[in-house]
Amino acid sequence: MTNSVNAMSLQDLRNRKSVKWRQFPSDVLPLPVAEMDFPIAEPVKCALRDMIERSDTGYLGPFPEMFEAFAEFSKHRWNWNADVAQMRIATDVGVGTVEVIRTLINPGDRVMLNSPVYDNMWRWVAEVKATLVDVPLNESNLDYSLDLDAIEREYQKGIKVHILCHPHNPVGVIFSKEVLAKLADLAVKYQVKVISDEIHGPLTYEPNTFTPFLAVSDAAREVGITVTSASKGFNLAGLKCALIITSSQELKEKINSMPISVAFRASLFGAVAATAAFRDSLTWLDGVIATLNENRNLIRKLIDTQLPAIGYRIPDFGYLAWLDLSNLGLGEDPTKLILERGKLAINGGVMYGPKHTSFARLNFGTSPEIITEAFHRIQKSL
């Protein structure tokens, strides 16, 4: 039996120093940025306390135990034999992705995204001075999928890198192994490298299956680079440590050509915490998933009983609800009015894609009381 992990009280959360709790005045309920409101796993706390006790606060160097912990975790959760010899460290998933792209493109080269998609990905493409090519996801009743035909048409015109959000934030969808295999075949055919951002993978709900891109097929292993970390699954974003993983020899050499500073800019605390997370914190992770599972169903219930005009598809993973607010009568930018009138902060859909102005992303990695209050505040804004 799984013991669910409960969120901290609102009073304790308001004492947190992270951006989620500092970005807005205290009368605003903040459910935007992707941080969870749970206490972190006890093994992670112990590992960090031990570092502090021993004043072990220097730079991060070789850290094979994190690679081994991740390999074991991936084998156990996803039946993926990730190769520790092909793993590298980066500060976070954002820095890792940007640095990987730098080894693969020249400025001006075309890089693909699939909107609506995690807002920072747009900035990563700008940061490497690439030309952005957006091939929006197909959508049917808020169920989204990759548009493989449109993707092929753009691949044909020349794409150097495709940044895949897998699982896909904010729409809550996990792409199937079969679809990913087709994508990988296209990438081989048109010589596209696929960077798979798998940061949300650990938060997959059963019976859905998350297949890491490098576990999909030989073609995927030829073109794929995974960038991931413990930061979403285990709520460790502030500790700064991510993994870059390849399977092909060619891509391994590319990754090895990155400046050595890429690894040095990660944090020792991040590596220690990630190791304790992937190796020792599976019970906690299952507890969090059990709580989030209740929360995603609670949102369904709150919408059905109080705000049926909101469109919502229960997500396949994680703690992000993608809400269609277009029928609420709140105009062009519903989240602005919800903040002004209801004092609830949620991210506007336009952050994720230009056509999604009337959508919002709500973070439900919190308590049922806070979620209920959030929907009460949406109702008050009408």
Ligand X SMILES: Cc1ncc(COP(=O)(O)O)c(C=O)c1O
Query: At its nearest, how many Å lie between ligand X and the CB of residue 318?
Result: 8
**Dihedral sign, Cα of residue 44, residue 47, residue 51, residue 53:** positive
Identify whether the C-beta of residue 204 lies closer than 8 Å to the C-beta of residue 211: no
Residue type, 297: N
The C-alpha R_g of the chain, in whole angstroms, comes to 20
Q: Which stretch binds ligand X (CB under 6 A): 56-64, 92-100, 105-113, 333-341?
A: 92-100
Nearer to ligand X, 66 or 219 (CB): 66
Q: Which stretch binds ligand X (CB under 6 A): 89-97, 107-115, 140-148, 346-354?
A: 89-97
Q: Which stretch binds ligand X (CB under 6 A): 10-18, 78-86, 229-237, 325-333?
A: 229-237
Q: Which DSSP helix (H) or strand (E) runs through 371? A: helix 368-380
Please select the residue that binds ligand X; options are 159, 161, 199, 239, rule is CB under 6 A.
Answer: 199
Identify whether the C-beta of residue 227 lies closer than 8 Å to the C-beta of residue 97: yes
Nearer to ligand X, 114 or 229 (CB): 229
DSSP β-ladder status, 161-165 and 193-197: parallel
Please select the residue that binds ligand X; options are 37, 99, 154, 197, rule is CB under 6 A.
Answer: 197
230 is an interface residue for ligand X by CB under 6 A:
no
60 is an interface residue for ligand X by CB under 6 A:
no
Give, in order, the Cα–Cα distances in Å from 14 to each of 18, 27, 109, 190, 370: 10, 11, 44, 50, 13
In 3D space, the residue among 140, 310, 285 whose CA is nearest the CA of residue 205 turns out to be 285
Q: What is the chain's percent helix, strand, coil content, to nearest 5?
A: 45, 15, 40
Identify whether the C-beta of residue 126 lies closer than 8 Å to the C-beta of residue 117: no
Site string for ligand X, 21-50 (x = CB under 6 A): -------------x----------------
242 is an interface residue for ligand X by CB under 6 A:
yes
Question: Can you name the residues that pair with 204 across neighbouring β-strands?
Answer: 317
Query: At its nearest, how many Å lie between ligand X and the CB of residue 251?
Result: 20
267 is an interface residue for ligand X by CB under 6 A:
no
How many Å apart are CA 381 and CA 299, to the nearest integer? 18
Query: At its nearest, how many Å lie between ligand X and the CB of residue 374?
Result: 19
Please select the residue that binds ligand X; options are 70, 118, 144, 317, rule is CB under 6 A.
Answer: 118
Site string for ligand X, 158-177 (x = CB under 6 A): -------x---x--------
- Residues forming contacts to ligand X in the complex (CB under 6 A) are 34, 92-94, 118, 165, 169, 197, 199, 229, 231, 237, 242
